[in-house]
A and B are shown apart, each in its own frame.
Chain A
Amino acid sequence: MSSDSSYYVPASSRMPIFMAFGLLLFVLGASFTMNNWGEEDSNAHWLLITSFAVIWGTMFFWFGSVIKENDSGMYSGQLNQSFVWGMAWFIFSEVMFFFAFFLALGYVRLFAVPWLGGEGEKAITNILWPGFEAAWPLLVTPDNEQFPGAHHSMSIPEVSKLHTWLPFWNTLCLITSSGTIALAEAGLRKGNRTAFKLWMVATLSLGYIFVFLQGLEYYEAYTHMGLTLGAGIYGTTFFLLTGFHGFHVCLGAIILTIMTIRGFGGAFSEHDHFGLAAGSWYWHFVDVVWILLVLVVYIF
């Protein structure tokens, strides 16, 4: 509720329309690139690359003007509260995006695959692919020629081999990084900028190690395990869940890299560092998603 009598309404701005233009280029570029995939004379990817330039460029100037306005003291406590709500509900919308993919995984594991294997009272089951056996991880798909299943799954090995299992190190990295970013924030709040910078660098390093290990895992999956996007529903859910998570880790890492660079440049004060706080919430969010993901994709 507003208790402050001063309102801030920004002047008209060119940023949103540039962003909308960038998104127009993105949709056209992405669609044409996908539809013309493999055609040698297609130049649709240039449209896509241009769109990224427009979108990232606009974001640079848009965030830049927000920072400038904030630094010149134009923002009231009320407006800062608006940013807090905005970020919180944005993260909630991201949670619901992941929810759709978790829902898909749950549905195929609890219903679709068992039904294909003949469970339940429905007459149609196990007629299309007689002899198909339901299992999870699903390594032999109903039509194993069209969708050749993986040789191995990514599931958790026995305890003695845990140290060779990449997700174990990934989990360690990400959980630790949630702690280090909390330490960085605490350092900043106490005015200890050295601690702040140190812990930010630690967080970023852990984040980049995670991304590297995830890439390594994908490389192994494709080259040694026959686990691909086309390997039936197990590969599908594995890559889409870990892939979108990894994409969000990358976004989080980019946000935190920018915050760290700004921090080294002297930005943020003890009481006014919402950009960093928002980045840190985002980082905790990808961490929580990862814990759920380890449980349902890798362990159970």
Chain B
Amino acid sequence: MSAVIDSHHDDHHHGPAKGFSRWLYTTNHKDIGSMYLWFSLIMLFIGGAMAMVIRAELFEPGSQIVSPEFYNQMVTNHGLIMVFGVIMPAFVGFANWMIPMQIGAPDMALPRLNNLSFWILPVAFGILLSTFFMEGGAPNFGWTFYAPLSTEYAPPTVTFFIFSVHIMGASSIMGSINIITTILNMRAPGMTLMKMPLFVWSWFITAYLLIAVMPVLAGAVTMMLMDIHAGTSFFKAAGGGDPVLFQHIFWFFGHPEVYIMILPAFGIVSHIIETFSRKPIFGYSSMVYAIASIALLSFVVWAHHMFTVGMPIAGELFFMYSTMLIAIPTGVKVFNWLSTMFKGSLTFETPMLFAIAFVALFTIGGLSGIMLAIAPADFQYHDTYFVVAHFHYVLVPGALFSLLAAAYYWIPKWTGKMYDETLGKVHFWMSFISVNLTFFPMHFVGLAGMPRRIPDYAMQFADWNMMVSVGAFLFGISQLLFLFIVLKCIYNGKAATTEVWEGAKDRGFEWTVDSPAPYHTFSSPPSMESLKSSS
């Protein structure tokens, strides 16, 4: 740090402040990253508990445990929490921890803003969860909050929901501005754009997507707010508006949003596969171009979520073909990962197991996505459990597995201690088996016609649903094991080396600093020379 700073803020360079105020006032990217990660882990268990309620209700046909009204609240809040409260904050947590370390920066570019972007998240979710205890109950219109369910027929708590979505959006926008500014402005000398680690690249592109679409979501909920409280008619055909307009605006946000939840995973998985294959990533620049093309395409495919609303045939065709184009850059990535592993010296530590499972299972989710992209076929699949199976395959063994892989991969660097490898492998296999048991049969019941978001179902779906519920309970328990592994690592782990993984120090600045990484990583910009084969 510069001499100028030391004279002014002498007390802040010897480590963190004491007590709880450290977390309230911190401007340190590692502190803020840790808060993001713990927040998303807590939200994972809250959203997961809601999933358990859903699966308990669906264990047998008939109304079993909760009322249909409460079931709808569970489905809605499970989706909202998992999307906005788990996957997104967890990736931002990794960005906070890793981007400054990977590009050789001292911290994020705008550290105070960084603190604000985190602390408004608990505000937003505290308000959202408090609606369960208000008159009329929590939001019950599905995480996609289609009008008029979310406007004319919504519980009064929808107002709180709207403002909490605004706050979540503000958090994401501020976080993204910070990430883009950090990447553009704080790289170590010599680290040109095409020498950046892939996780940095994937977040760079993700942050652009966030800045572009979160304001559109803010616009959508603002229109809802006006329709509810100010008598406007955006989504009311009686006044000349159109409920379908809501779906267009929502999915213009929503489709880039689903890539926001997966692009950083591509970066993480690339790092893990190259480390445990002991080879540099195959096709680095094609990886960058593939991520960028997926991001660009995501702006012109949104209406494939609404093939059945009655679009003109030209619209159906356009969105069908544009959606299928996404398979090309995604295929490039999958083949690059396979080629990286080809003839590599593979070892299968827990992060690698999760990364390989990611490649295999995410591809299943991608292939069912191509099935859904076929407009005429989608008339059969639309709003069935097939769709539920599809997006859970890309989000759970996709995004969530990449997050777990990343946690195992980098936790030795954060804590300076190794996790328990045996327990990690147990966690992996339990998760792997139960995730497939949970989501694979959903394809079958979906194709057979079981609708989503329904608390009861026809008798012929009973067997598969019972199996799905058993899988879901097992998956829930497996994640408690993850919590135990993390705590055991922090309090009782064996010391980790600087390099942590064999050969890792060639692969990024983060493996050249001590384990645990010092509170302030770089006091002066590191040199690219310290990396032998930067990817």
* B-binding residues in A (CB < 8 A): 1-3, 5-17, 19-20, 23-24, 26-28, 30-31, 34-35, 37, 62, 72-74, 76, 78-79, 81-82, 85-86, 89-90, 92-97, 99-101, 103-104, 107-108, 111-113, 115-116, 120-122, 124, 128-129, 138, 141-143, 146-147, 228-230, 232-236, 239-240
Contact = CB atoms under 8 A, between A and B. Distances in A.
B2 A124 contact: no
A30 B185 CA distance: 38
A3 B239 contact: no
B159 interface: yes
Interface in B124-165: 124, 126-127, 156, 159-160, 162-164
A13 B25 CA distance: 5
Given A97-B219, A142-B239, A233-B241, A82 B123 contact: no
Interface string B108-120: 0111110110011
Interface stretch (B245-253, B335-343, B361-369, B376-384): B245-253
11 contacts: A1-B185, A1-B192, A2-B187, A2-B525, A78-B185, A86-B178, A103-B252, A115-B242, A232-B241, A236-B239, A240-B223
B232 A31 contact: no
Contact of A12 (B25, B156, B212, B520): B25
B240 A97 contact: no
A107 B43 CA distance: 37
A107 B245 contact: yes
A72 B252 CA distance: 46
Nearest to A17: B24
A233 B120 contact: no
Contact of A93 (B11, B22, B188, B215): B215
Interface string B397-434: 00000000000000000000000000000000000000
Given A37-B229, A86-B181, A112-B241, A12 B220 contact: no
B1 interface: yes
Given A17-B119, A20-B116, A96-B211, 19 more contacts: A2-B189, A6-B2, A6-B3, A8-B4, A9-B107, A19-B120, A27-B163, A30-B163, A72-B8, A86-B109, A86-B113, A86-B181, A89-B177, A96-B212, A97-B216, A104-B223, A112-B245, A122-B310, A147-B239
Contacts of B178: 86
Interface in B165-220: 166-167, 170, 173, 176-178, 180-182, 184-189, 191-192, 211-216, 218-220
B525 A82 contact: no
A141 B219 contact: no
A111 B243 CA distance: 12
Contacts of B111: 9-10
B182 to A, nearest CB: 8
Contacts of B180: 85, 89
Given A17-B115, A35-B156, A143-B238, A27 B167 contact: yes
Interface string B500-524: 0000000000000000000010111
A12 B176 CA distance: 21
B230 interface: yes
Contact of A100 (B159, B185, B249): B249
Contact of A97 (B215, B225, B230): B215
B167 A116 contact: no
Nearest to B135: A35
B244 interface: yes
Nearest to A232: B239
Nearest to B252: A103
Interface string B1-45: 111110011011000010000101111100000000000000000
B477 interface: no
B454 to A, nearest CB: 25
B233 interface: yes
B213 A236 contact: no
Cβ-closest 10 pairs across A and B: A100-B219, A6-B2, A233-B240, A143-B238, A112-B242, A147-B239, A16-B116, A97-B215, A230-B231, A16-B115
Contacts of A146: 238-239
A124 B243 CA distance: 14
A19 to B, nearest CB: 5
Contacts of B192: 1
Contact of B189 (A1, A24, A111): A1
Contact of B2 (A1, A7, A99): A7
Contacts of B240: 108, 112-113, 116, 138, 141-142, 147, 232-234
A124 B187 contact: no
A96 B223 CA distance: 15
Interface in B81-127: 105-107, 109-113, 115-116, 119-120, 123-124, 126-127
Nearest to A74: B4
Contacts of A111: 242
A196 B187 CA distance: 37
A202 to B, nearest CB: 31
B197 to A, nearest CB: 15
Contacts of B242: 107-108, 111-112, 115-116
Contact of B233 (A6, A11, A30, A141): A141
B319 interface: no
User: Which of A103, A122, A236 gathers the greatest number of chain B CB atoms within 10 Å?
Assistant: A236
User: Which of A13, A16, A85 gathers the greatest number of chain B CB atoms within 10 Å?
Assistant: A16
B123 A236 contact: no
B385 interface: no
Nearest to A65: B112
A104 B220 CA distance: 9
A232 B238 CA distance: 8
A236 B115 contact: no
B483 interface: no
B226 interface: yes
A50 B188 CA distance: 44
Contact of A23 (B160, B167, B237, B249): B167
A72 B187 CA distance: 26
A125 to B, nearest CB: 10
Contact of A2 (B105, B120, B126): B105
B241 A27 contact: no
Nearest to B123: A24
A141 B395 CA distance: 43
B215 A236 contact: no
Given A74-B5, A81-B185, A107-B245, A229 B232 contact: yes
Contact of A78 (B156, B186, B252): B186
Contact of A85 (B123, B181, B525): B181
Contact of B312 (A6, A62, A120, A143): A120
